[in-house]
Amino acid sequence: MRRCQVAIIGAGPSGLLLGALLHKAGIDAIILERQSRDYVLARIRAGVLEQGTVGLLQQAGVGARLQREGLVHEGFALTYNGQSLRIDIADLTDGKTVTVYGQTEVTRDLMTHRDTIGATAIYEAKEVSLEGFDGGSPRVFYSKDGLRHEIACDFIAGCDGFHGVSRASVPDEALSIFERVYPFGWLGVLADVPPCSHELIYAGHERGFALCSMRSLTRSRYYIQCSLDDRVENWSDQAFWDELRRRLDPEAAEAIVTGPSIEKSIAPLRSFVAEPLRFGRMFLVGDAAHIVPPTGAKGLNLAASDVHYLSEALIEFYGERSSAGIDDYSRRALARIWKAERFSWSLTGLLHQFDLMTPFERRMQEAEFVYLQGSRNARASLAENYVGLPF
Ligand code: APR
Ligand code: PHB
């Protein structure tokens, strides 16, 4: 049997970032991941980092490539039925910005860092099970290469995403679940073509939402709202580019450079929160605890703020023998989670077409857009949320 202070379940961004911050504070953690490294690195997710997330990555010692290659954005465009409105986030938030840098790259940097510091991460750990977190001596079991292993620890950090074992190990009656499943998905395409604009474009359109994003100055990421029963095979590259152009303002549509897709996938949209986030000596972190729809790119950033609160709490526990931080983790993290849930839910509602929308609801979307056009306060509120509320 092995021993460590914190057993981290999941080597996504939450688990790896928590591992890096704990290591820096001299706290010994083991990360257990169900998939292989390559599998984890093949997942394509959003790519907009709040300043707080960038700061946390720097604090963890993994900010160097991000600093060199990340694209700092001072604004983005919101368009509605072809009319464009720039949200000058730097001006509206006293100089705050966001950094465009793919989540896959964040994960890669964190993995490389873990190798460099020689900290343990066990990939392809199967049949992970958690026991005893209600009492004083939690245990984690897993299988690898046909053998069953056991880890004894002080705490378990459940960083294992929406489908992980951590939340599933909590009795139903101890959890409250709040959920909204949206009646549409996003069809995403990655292509090695220059972006159509130097900033992101979030486009509301009567044919459905579209988003122009990027990974670099030579690689673009585009999305269009699609129906839930749609299939990637239904969309040739040409059909995708044609539909994307129809939903954009004329200038952006004109500037689209097409090319072969290097990835194409459909993702469903969901808002989800589980409460509370602490069960004795086990904590839920990141997607294991909450999901936001991708509109506004809050998923990874919210995982980072959970990690910030939990790492501080554990450092305080080991450094000062005080459990005040761990006792307060759930409350602190949830207070920020609900604000980000509100923001991504409202931006999703503003920009998407819903099947059963009444003419009144359509006018409400339009009125919201017109309000944003005319009111600096409205834009400032949008910008304040987009750059990320303080931790
Ligand atoms: N045992 C071990 N590992 C597991 C298990 C399990 N039973 N179940 C899931 N995992 C692993 C997954 O394979 C995955 O690598 O846990 C990891 C969870 O990673 P993510 O799903 O990426 O979640 P998280 O690290 O919280 O990242 C936050 O931000 O942009 C959003 O949703 C996006 O992934 C993103 C998230
Ligand atoms: C992305 O680049 O994939 C992306 C950007 C912004 C979002 C969602 C996704 O709101």
Catalytic residue among 298, 309, 329, 352: 298
Please give the pLDDT value at position 320. 95
What does the pLDDT read at residue 356? 87
pLDDT for res 43? 84
Measured from the CA of 303, which atom of ligand 1 is nearest?
Answer: 28
H-type alpha helices, the chain = 13-24, 37-42, 51-59, 64-69, 89-92, 103-117, 165-168, 237-247, 250-255, 299-320, 324-351, 359-374, 376-387
Nearest CA to ligand 1 atom 5: 164
Give the three-class secondary structure for 335.
helix
Q: Is 202 a catalytic residue?
A: yes
Tens-binned pLDDT, residue by residue, of the chain (391 aa)? 999 999 999 999 999 999 999 999 999 999 999 999 999 998 888 889 999 999 999 999 999 999 999 999 999 999 998 899 999 999 999 999 999 999 999 999 999 999 999 999 999 999 999 999 999 899 999 999 999 999 999 999 999 999 999 999 999 999 999 999 999 999 999 999 999 999 999 999 999 999 999 999 999 999 999 999 999 999 999 999 999 999 999 999 999 999 999 999 999 999 999 999 999 999 999 999 999 999 999 999 999 999 999 999 999 999 999 999 999 999 999 999 999 999 999 999 999 999 989 999 999 999 999 999 999 999 999 999 999 999 9
Residue 243: predicted pLDDT: 98
State which of 213, 215, 292, 385 you would mutate to test the pocket of ligand 2, scoring each by most atoms of that ligand within 8 A of its C-beta: 213
Give the count of beta carbons closer than 10 Å to the beta carbon of residue 180. 14
The pLDDT value recorded for residue 205 is: 95
Please report the pLDDT score of residue 239 as a whole number.
Answer: 98
Domains in the chain, start-ordered, CATH in brackets? 2-71+100-178+270-348 (3.50.50.60), 183-269+356-387 (3.30.9.10)
pLDDT on residue 249: 95
Catalytic one of 23, 73, 96, 205 = 73
Give yes or no: 386 in active site.
yes
C-alpha separations of 368 from 77, 103, 324 in Å? 15, 31, 42
**Do residues 269 and 226 make contact, with C-beta atoms less than 8 angstroms apart?**
no
The pLDDT assigned to 107 comes to 97
If you count them, how many residues does the chain have?
A: 391
- Give the pLDDT of residue 340: 98
Q: Answer yes or no: 24 catalytic.
A: no
pLDDT at position 30 is: 98
Query: Which ligand has an atom closest to residue 125 CA?
Result: 1
- Rounded distance from Cα 71 to ligand 2 centre (Å): 13
Q: Which ligand is nearest to the CA of 216?
A: 2
Residue-by-residue DSSP string for 266-331? EEEEEEEEEE-SEETTEEE-GGGTEE--STT--HHHHHHHHHHHHHHHHHHHHHH---HHHHHHHH
